[in-house]
């Protein structure tokens, strides 16, 4: 493990986790074989699954749950308080009791592009891709691609979440389409035969 990391004693690190320096981790969990880039902060009650890649300068705040095999780009920022205030109305500093964490869930194999901002209360579906610089205000369906501010659907679900799917996906889709066409034709033919048998046409 590199020096210049600040890993609090209450951090629960899995097997073979790599942390590349100047990271600040406290009260969080990181699963086996995950890689944490430079200048990443992971706060208390946040959880990162196994085999995740957290790129440099990402900010993972309290209330964020990241499942296994997730990619988090550079400078990704999670937001757990939609109306933050420094002070109470009487001018005294706010503390933990003055606000409520709004959780965020990033499901398995999702990818979040660099510089994306993910607002509290959102779920990023399994295998979904969030474009670079997106501001995600609503939950993202599994295996879709979203981008922009606010993030909008760019591509519908594919098996892999990649552009247009893999060759296997495209073959499977074509095969399913052909199968659907064949079944529709059979149903029509059966309908015709039945109508003829009963003398309805
Ligand atoms: C979102 C993303 C996956 C889309 O890739 P794609 O499906 O190949 O999309 P295309 O390049 O064909 O672009 C389709 C349209 O979306 C727009 N678009 C692409 N990425 C966008 C983004 N991040 N934000 C806003 N619009 C975007 C394109 O301008 C294009 O618009 P147009 O149809 O009006 O010309 C990709 O652009 C992206 O942002 N990937 C994240 C990369 C990243 O952050 N990596 C981190 C480690 S380096």
For 4-62, the pLDDT digits (tens) are 999 999 999 999 999 999 999 999 999 999 999 999 999 999 999 999 999 999 999 99
Q: How far is the CA of 153 from the centre of ligand 1 (A)?
A: 11
- Burial level of 39, CB count in 10 A (0-12/13-18/19+)? middle
Say if ligand 1 is within 6 A of residue 135 CB.
Answer: no
- Burial level of 150, CB count in 10 A (0-12/13-18/19+)? exposed
Report CA-CA distances (Å) from 119 to 36, 55, 81, 103, 136: 22, 19, 8, 9, 6
159 counts as catalytic: no
- Please give the Cα distance from 100 to 116 (Å, whole number): 23
Is-above-0.85 flag for pTM?
no
The token duo for 60 is: 């993972």
- Please give the Cα distance from 65 to 164 (Å, whole number): 28
Which of 37, 132, 151 has the most ligand 1 atoms within 8 A of CB, as the residue to mutate? 132
Q: Each residue of 114-135: pLDDT tens digit?
A: 999 999 999 999 999 999 999 9
Say if ligand 1 is within 6 A of residue 115 CB.
Answer: no
The token duo for 116 is: 């994306």
- Please give the Cα distance from 76 to 37 (Å, whole number): 12
- Please give the Cα distance from 151 to 59 (Å, whole number): 19
Say if ligand 1 is within 6 A of residue 131 CB.
Answer: yes
pLDDT band at 163 (very low <50, low <70, confident <90, very high): low
Nearest CA to ligand 1 atom 27: 147
Which atom of ligand 1 has the smallest separation from the CA of 55? 47
Q: Which residue do the tokens 């996906």 mark?
A: 169
């Amino acid at each position: 493990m590199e020096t210049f990391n600040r890993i609090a004693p209450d951090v629960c690190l899995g097997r073979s986790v790599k942390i590349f320096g100047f990271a600040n981790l406290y009260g969080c969990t990181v699963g086996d074989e995950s890689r944490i880039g430079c200048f990443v902060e992971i706060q208390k009650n946040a959880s990162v699954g196994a085999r995740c890649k957290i790129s440099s300068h990402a900010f993972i705040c309290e209330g964020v749950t990241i499942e296994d095999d997730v990619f988090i780009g550079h400078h990704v920022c999670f937001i757990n308080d939609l109306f933050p205030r420094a002070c109470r109305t009487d001018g005294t500093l706010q503390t933990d009791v003055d606000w409520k964490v709004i959780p965020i869930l990033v499901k398995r194999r999702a990818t979040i592009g660099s510089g994306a901002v993910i607002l509290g209360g959102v779920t990023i579906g399994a295998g979904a891709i969030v474009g670079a610089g997106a501001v995600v205000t609503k939950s993202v369906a599994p295996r879709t691609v979203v981008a922009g501010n606010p993030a909008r659907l760019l591509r519908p679900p594919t098996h892999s979440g990649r552009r247009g799917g893999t060759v296997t996906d495209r073959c499977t889709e074509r095969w399913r389409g052909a199968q659907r066409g064949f079944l529709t034709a059979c149903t029509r033919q059966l309908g015709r035969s039945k109508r003829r048998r009963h003398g309805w046409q």
